């Protein structure tokens, strides 16, 4: 057993918080006892000489560490290259190779010891019967939770139950306990548990045909409020109550607009911008959800019903949710080029050098987008294939779209539009997926990151 050599003896040497375990049993494990440790060991199978090749620093979260390359060669961490003097985060199970395996370099696996100080998670044994939908009797898929009873179901299963309940009853009852359901929404925490269960026992996975059917039935995208007009009208409210209740009220519950008025079984959506309610109506030809993020917005719905803002029912500004073609942009979004400010400044200079405005460039690329001249694989929006310039989106999703289009604008740009110092930069091996560009300003400045990765993980 070898010990790493430390430059900062601040922790007790009695505690081994992590180990480097060689994949070749001919070599010894390396114990890490100190917060910051310089690792000295064999580098190649063909040599017994020991060399300093990295420094490992324990992170404050106690579940990871930072490995800095101190050798003259590249080190591979989980098949991602870490160059000399660069650093990478390593977690329990990370594989560290001191060079290509076909050239005889030693490889280690980083393991964190389950000490009292480093134990952050509690292992929980879960009976999978408690993670099953009572409608289909399978493990949840895209789990939703009904309130106030807090029973959980597949999104597709409950959506179908909801549709049938609205046809037959004035209220929606929980399929499990028969309590009246007032609210239903997607449960992202239980979705993670759902994924862990299926990872632990793949035999519980459904067939691809079942998944397609469930997803086609699923209609719960943002939280739904299933409330009864009778329950809300039990007592008269004074005018002083209006200001307190406007954000949770629905104009069509009180008055008929556009030939429609809510009834006792109407399902309501809560607007993500103003917090107000509107009936969920999929048959009116007006978008109520942003296709980019699946959140509900009322800015398009109420004008289509002839409802205007008032003191009792303030409505969203049309600017919060409108067709892509009607959005305007005056600045490069902060998300552009993976938040790399150097690349954002280069793009801004290019547009200015070309004598164009940012709005003109974005409009040109939206036209290319409509004509499907752009690969949408990395588009950071939901339902990417369904989106066109006529699709209504929220401002946040529009910024994501603009950032996506500016990437393609840059990668297709002829080099003579770039300043000489920008055009002469070499492409980073990891392109847009490079993590070093976020914490190493010199690297972000010297290398072009608006390009496809040629090494490592293609995210």
What is the Cα–Cα distance from 45 to 47, expressed in whole angstroms?
A: 6
Handedness of CA 352, 357, 360, 365 (dihedral sign): positive
Tell me, what's the pLDDT at 123? 59
CB 69 within 8 A of CB 86: yes
Most confident of 140-144, 231-235, 315-319: 140-144
Distance CA 213, CA 272 (A): 28
Q: Which residue has the higher pLDDT, 253 or 409?
A: 409
Task: Enumerate the H helices of 288-427 as residue ranges.
Answer: 301-304, 336-339, 341-353, 358-370, 395-411, 420-423
pLDDT score for 47: 81
pLDDT classification of 322: cutoffs 50, 70, 90: very high
Q: Name the β-bridge partners of 82.
A: 75
**DSSP per-residue string spanning 109-126:** EEEE---TTT--------
Residue 314, pLDDT score: 65
d(CA 343, CA 447): 10
pLDDT at 234 over 70: no
| Contact in structure between 315 and 353 (CB atoms under 8 Å) | no
What is the pLDDT, as a whole number, of residue 2? Answer: 52
pLDDT greater than 90 at residue 196: no
CATH class (in words) of the domain with range 2-112: mainly beta
Each residue of 288-309: pLDDT tens digit?
A: 999 998 889 999 999 999 887 6
Q: Where in the chain is the domain with CATH 3.30.40.10?
A: 128-220
Where does 128-220 sit in CATH, by number? 3.30.40.10
* CATH class as words, domain 226-235+243-316: alpha beta
Burial 150-172 (b: 16+ CB within 10 A, else e): ebbbbbbbbbbbbeebbeeeebb
What value does the mean pLDDT of the chain take? 84
Least confident residue range of 49-53, 120-124, 296-300, 432-436: 120-124
Please, which pLDDT band fits residue 456 given cuts at 50, 70 and 90? low
Give the model's pLDDT for residue 312.
Answer: 62
The predicted-structure confidence for 174-183, as pLDDT tens digits, reads as follows 998 888 888 8
Higher pLDDT, 239 or 36: 36
pLDDT band at 112 (very low <50, low <70, confident <90, very high): confident
Cα radius of gyration (the chain): 28
Stated pTM of the model: 0.58
Least Cα distance to 267 among 321, 317, 228 occurs for 228
Look at residue 136 and tell me whether its pLDDT is greater than 50.
yes
Nearest C-alpha neighbor of 251 from the set 290, 304, 291: 304
Q: Where in the chain is the domain with CATH 2.60.200.20?
A: 2-112
List, for residues 362-394, the tens digit of each pLDDT value.
999 999 999 999 999 889 998 999 999 999 999
Q: Both tokens of residue 238?
A: 């004074």
Check pLDDT > 90 for residue 129: no
Q: Which residues have a Cβ under 8 Å from the Cβ of 129 and sit 6 or more positions away? A: none
| Mean pLDDT, residues 49-62 | 87
**444 touches 437 (CB < 8 A):** yes
């Amino acid at each position: 057993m070898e010990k790493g050599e430390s430059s900062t003896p601040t922790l007790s040497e009695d505690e081994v918080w992590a180990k480097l375990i060689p994949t070749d049993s001919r070599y010894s494990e390396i114990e890490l006892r100190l917060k910051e440790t310089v690792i000295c060991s064999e580098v190649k199978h063909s040599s017994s000489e020991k060399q300093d090749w990295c420094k490992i620093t324990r992170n404050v979260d106690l579940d990871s560490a930072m490995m800095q390359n101190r050798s003259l060669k590249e080190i591979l961490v989980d098949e991602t290259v870490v160059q000399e003097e660069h650093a990478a985060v390593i977690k329990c199970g990370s594989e560290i190779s001191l060079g290509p395996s076909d050239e005889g370099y030693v490889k280690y696996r980083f393991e964190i010891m389950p000490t009292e100080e480093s134990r952050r998670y509690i292992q929980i044994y879960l009976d999978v019967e408690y993670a099953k939908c009572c409608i289909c009797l399978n493990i949840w898929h895209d789990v939703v939770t009904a309130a106030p009873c807090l029973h959980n179901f597949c999104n597709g299963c409950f959506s179908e139950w909801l549709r049938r309940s609205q046809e037959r009853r004035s209220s929606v009852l929980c399929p499990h306990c028969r309590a009246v359901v007032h609210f239903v929404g997607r449960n992202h925490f239980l979705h993670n548990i759902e994924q862990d269960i299926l990872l632990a026992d793949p035999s519980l996975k459904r067939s691809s045909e079942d998944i397609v059917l469930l997803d086609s039935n699923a209609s719960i995208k943002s939280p739904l409020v299933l409330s009864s007009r009778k329950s809300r009208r039990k007592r008269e409210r004074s005018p002083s109550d209006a200001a307190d209740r406007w954000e949770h009220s629905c104009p069509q519950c009180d008055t008929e607009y556009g030939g429609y008025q809510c009834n006792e079984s109407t399902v309501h959506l809560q607007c993500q911008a103003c917090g107000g309610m509107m009936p969920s109506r999929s048959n009116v030809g007006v978008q109520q959800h942003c296709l980019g993020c699946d959140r509900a917005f009322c800015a398009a719905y109420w004008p289509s019903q002839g409802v205007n803002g008032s003191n009792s029912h303030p409505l969203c500004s049309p600017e919060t949710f409108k067709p892509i073609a009607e959005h305007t942009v005056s600045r490069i979004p902060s998300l552009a080029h993976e938040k790399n400010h150097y690349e954002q400044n280069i793009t801004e200079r290019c547009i200015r050098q070309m004598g164009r405005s940012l709005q003109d460039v974005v409009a040109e690329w939206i036209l290319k987008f409509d004509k499907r001249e752009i690969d949408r694989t990395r588009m950071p929006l939901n339902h990417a294939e369904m989106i066109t310039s006529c699709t209504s989106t929220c401002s946040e999703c529009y910024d994501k779209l603009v950032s996506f289009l500016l990437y393609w604008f840059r990668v297709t740009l002829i080099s003579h539009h770039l300043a000489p110092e920008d055009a002469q930069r070499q492409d980073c091996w990891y392109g847009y997926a490079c993590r070093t560009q976020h914490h190493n300003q010199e690297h972000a400045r010297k290398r072009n990151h608006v390009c496809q990765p040629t090494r490592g993980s293609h995210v």
